[in-house]
Amino acid sequence: MTEQAKGLEGIVIADTHLSRVQGDVGRLTYCGYDIADLAENASFEEVVFLLWNNALPTKVQLERFRHTLVENMSVPASVLQAMNAFPLNAHPMAVVRTAVSALGLHDSAAEDNSKDANYRKAMHLTAKLPTIVAAWARIRTGREPVAPRDDLGLAANFVYMLKGEEPNQTEVDAINVYLVLLADHGMNASTFTSRVVTSTDGDLYSAVTAAIGSLKGPKHGGANEAAMRMFREVSGAASIEQWFQDEVKGKGRRIMGIGHRVYKAPDPRATILKRHAIALCNEVEKCGMINIAQELEDLALKDDFFIERKLFPNVDYYSAIVLDAVGIETDMMTPLFAMSRIAGWTAHIIEQWADNRLIRPRGNYVGPDKLKWVPVEQRKDS
């Protein structure tokens, strides 16, 4: 195996109509629409419709789509009861993974992999995930879950269910932009996972549950949590520049949220989120990390190590600031990533089914060969 092929880097595993990542120029598109244009103008519901249908909805289609999503936001009482029995210190992503799997038990058509059935299941999961995430944020702090309202969209409903009060429009707009920006991103690890499970003729609940497990890892979805923990660490240092010199230059530590496997130009999502983070932090009190993030970014972008390797802030860097400003606890940040990426996962699952073939790569064996059998009595401790 060549060095280039490690981690399947550079290997094309499928054709897709959904998103295109052009890392060399820092461009991301969904079904042909530039992410900056969508972030500026689209609701998350419009983006979900776009990914599932490869076209933006008309006004009538959008209203009908929104209505159907809101109708499906309620979570079965038995699933909420099960969540109430979970350990309060359980990782939120483990809770989300388990709750999604449990939803499959309540669906009599879970094994139906027809296009219509998968579209319906995608609708159910996309609608219910904000309810699950908000419910766990409250359950683990001893508060009762709040039921969704039929007059609010997904972003506004999430903020309402999280806080139990009329949602602040600035916070709703920030969550909506976040959901739009994270909805899909090529063949990332969790999306690839969802397609692998689907390729085995696995059901949609299984594919999404597996994708959540993949997203949980700190090298994927968990990076926003790591970035926020780093900002807090930096806030306790004598100075940001001193921390940079001691930890990054001296000890070779990574700056969490800077650098990306694909982007060798500024990540367009980070650029947009930075703008929203600054605007949001001008309006809310809980936003002490924005200055740290900006100064640390400035130090990195002036350093030869980062310049030579083309390392820029990625989506996790400023998304952590945005979510923290809204009041999302650090370990609840990755569940919001899942709340957005469910749109892309389900779109890829539907797309995989349209021309399904078992994904079965090969491994390059590098172990010993032609060993001789040794009876157990003659084996020696190594």
Q: How many CB atoms are located within 10 Å of the residue 356 CB?
A: 15
Give the length of the chain: 382
Examine the domain organization and report whether 86 and 178 are in the same domain.
yes
Examine the domain organization and report whether 213 and 229 are in the same domain.
no
What distance in Å separates the CA atoms of residue 380 and residue 382, rounded to the nearest whole number? Answer: 6
| pTM listed for this prediction | 0.92
Examine the domain organization and report whether 34 and 63 are in the same domain.
yes
The residue written with tokens 């990054």 in the block is 248
**375 within some domain:** no
Examine the domain organization and report whether 173 and 246 are in the same domain.
no
What distance in Å separates the CA atoms of residue 263 and residue 377, rounded to the nearest whole number? Answer: 56
Q: How many domains does the chain have?
A: 2
Examine the domain organization and report whether 238 and 128 are in the same domain.
no
Q: Which two tokens stand for residue 129?
A: 């995930």
| pLDDT score for 1 | 44
Examine the domain organization and report whether 26 and 175 are in the same domain.
yes
Examine the domain organization and report whether 348 and 304 are in the same domain.
no
**Domain that includes residue 20, residue range:** 14-217+331-354
**152 within some domain:** yes
Examine the domain organization and report whether 253 and 303 are in the same domain.
yes
| pLDDT score for 7 | 67
DSSP per residue over 198-262, as a string? HHTT--HHHHHHHHHHHHTSTTTTTHHHHHHHHHHHHHTSS-HHHHIIIIIIIT----TTB--SS
**151 within some domain:** yes
**360 within some domain:** no
- CATH assignment of the domain containing 141: 1.10.580.10
Burial (CB count <10 Å: 0-12, 13-18, 19+), residue 189? middle
* Residue 93: CA count within 13 A, CB half-sphere: 22
User: Which one of the listed residues 124, 185, 220, 260 is annotated catalytic?
Assistant: 260
Examine the domain organization and report whether 39 and 113 are in the same domain.
yes
Examine the domain organization and report whether 102 and 209 are in the same domain.
yes
Examine the domain organization and report whether 235 and 157 are in the same domain.
no
Does residue 17 carry a catalytic annotation? no
- CATH assignment of the domain containing 291: 1.10.230.10
**120 within some domain:** yes
User: Which one of the listed residues 184, 203, 316, 324 is annotated catalytic?
Assistant: 316
Does residue 316 carry a catalytic annotation? yes
| pLDDT score for 188 | 92
| pLDDT score for 280 | 86
Q: Which segments in the chain show pLDDT lower than 50?
A: 1-2
**196 within some domain:** yes
**124 within some domain:** yes
| pLDDT score for 288 | 72
**5 within some domain:** no
Examine the domain organization and report whether 62 and 195 are in the same domain.
yes
